[in-house]
């Protein structure tokens, strides 16, 4: 997926743990980990707003478009096809 999640960057900048952020936002640490690790397929605007409030940031500080994400299996398939593999 070309949407990258930078929650870990903001956590480091705010010197906050995943558990503390999960408590502030009102979601489980497991669900926050799914979002943080880029495995989520969607995020509610209410959750995004709560993340921004807790981290004192903008949505763009947490999400970015990265069409060349090398960890994305779809990009690997496209690259193999382009290389004739």
- Total structural domains within the chain: 1
What CATH number does residue 78 fall under?
Answer: 1.10.260.40
Per-residue model confidence as pLDDT tens digits over 19-38? 999 999 999 999 999 999 99
Q: Classify residue 53 by burial, with Cβ atoms within 10 Å: 0-12, 13-18, 19+.
A: exposed
Q: Which domain holds residue 18?
A: 3-82
Return the closest-CA partner of residue 43 out of 32, 54, 28. 32
Per-residue model confidence as pLDDT tens digits over 35-52? 999 999 999 999 999 999
- At residue 68, the pLDDT reads 79
- Angle separating helix axes 7-14 and 45-55, nearest 10 degrees: 30
User: What is this structure's pTM?
Assistant: 0.77
């Amino acid at each position: 997926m070309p949407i990258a999640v930078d929650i870990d960057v903001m956590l480091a900048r705010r010197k906050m743990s995943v558990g503390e952020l999960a408590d502030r936002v009102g979601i489980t640490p497991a669900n926050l980990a799914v979002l943080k690790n880029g495995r989520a397929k969607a995020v509610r605007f209410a959750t995004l707003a709560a993340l921004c409030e807790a981290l004192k940031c903008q949505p763009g500080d947490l999400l970015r478009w990265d069409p060349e994400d090398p960890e994305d299996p779809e990009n690997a398939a496209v690259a193999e096809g382009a290389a004739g593999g």
